[in-house]
Structure 1
Amino acid sequence: MPGSLAPHHLQQALELLLDNRDTPMAIIEIALACNLTRSHFSRAFKLSTGLSPLAWRLKARLEKAKKLLATSLSLTEVGLEAGFCDQSHFTKTFTRLAGMTPKAWRAEQVNGSSQSPY
């Protein structure tokens, strides 16, 4: 697609975002790694993925949190492991994006997986 990232730049950007999903990494750092300006990188990334780099990283954190909610980790530990600064930030963000609290999501997954349709 015209204006999108070259496949190798997209791969590099996604790897950097995933590798640094739990720590702050400025978008300019990723853009520079791809030899692009910040604005060009941001536009091209959104054309390539449908999301801004920050939204993509937030979605990746949410997906990691959902996987961790299937473990015995506490909600605080899940939030921290998924890259949120504290449980409040984790709960607010998770609720906004998933439509329910992490605790409710965990309970729904446990109850949903134990129910048989027969």
Structure 2
Amino acid sequence: MASLHHDSTCEHEQPVDAGTSGGLAPWRERLAKQMLLDHLAEGIPVARLAEACALSRSHFARAFKCSTGMTPQDWLRQQRLARAKELIRTSDLSLTRIGLECGFYDQAHFSRLFTRAEGVNPMSWRLIGE
């Protein structure tokens, strides 16, 4: 019977302590998250995040996922959606403008990802919140 090799340095389902998991050091995680937030609208290449953390691109990507439970791109998408929800709740900006300010390619892209995450489109979500 064949045995499967399991890499125990990182459990991908849950964020874990970087000290024992192969994840990012706390300062690197904070730096990467802040850089992602600073570039919310336009995005930032993973290679640039890795360089700022003095890690190779592949090591950074793996360690980020170990630390947060998601890829840098997924974490950024989650932050974009959170910012969009905040703007929908607190501003009168059009949904098109909100989508663009949060880094989505266009209204359709924003609406598709928002609906997938929230189970309802942004306009309905705005109306429910009123």
Identity %: 45
User: Residue 67 of structure 1: which of 68, 72, 86 is its match?
Assistant: 86
- Provide, for residues 25-72 of structure 1, a one-character-per-residue CA deviation record: whole Å limited to 9, x for no partner: 110110011010111111111111111100000000000000010111
TM-score (norm 1): 0.89
Matches within 5 A, 1:19-98: 19-70=38-89, 71-98=91-118
Contiguous gaps of at least 5 residues in structure 2: 1-16
- Give the distance between the partners of 1:75 and 1:23, measured in 2 at CA: 17
* Aligned-partner Cα distance in 2 for 1:41–1:49: 12
- The count of corresponding residues between Structure 1 and Structure 2 is 110
TM-superposed CA distance for 1:24, in Å, is 2.7
Q: What's the TM-score once normalised by structure 2's chain length?
A: 0.81
- In 2, the alpha carbon distance for the partners of 1:8 and 1:78 equals 31
Which of the two has greater helix per residue? 1
Q: Which runs of 5+ in 1 are unaligned?
A: 111-118
Moved over 4 A (4+): none
- Matched residues in 1 for 2:43 and 2:82: separation? 17
CA RMSD, Structure 1 to Structure 2 (Å): 0.9
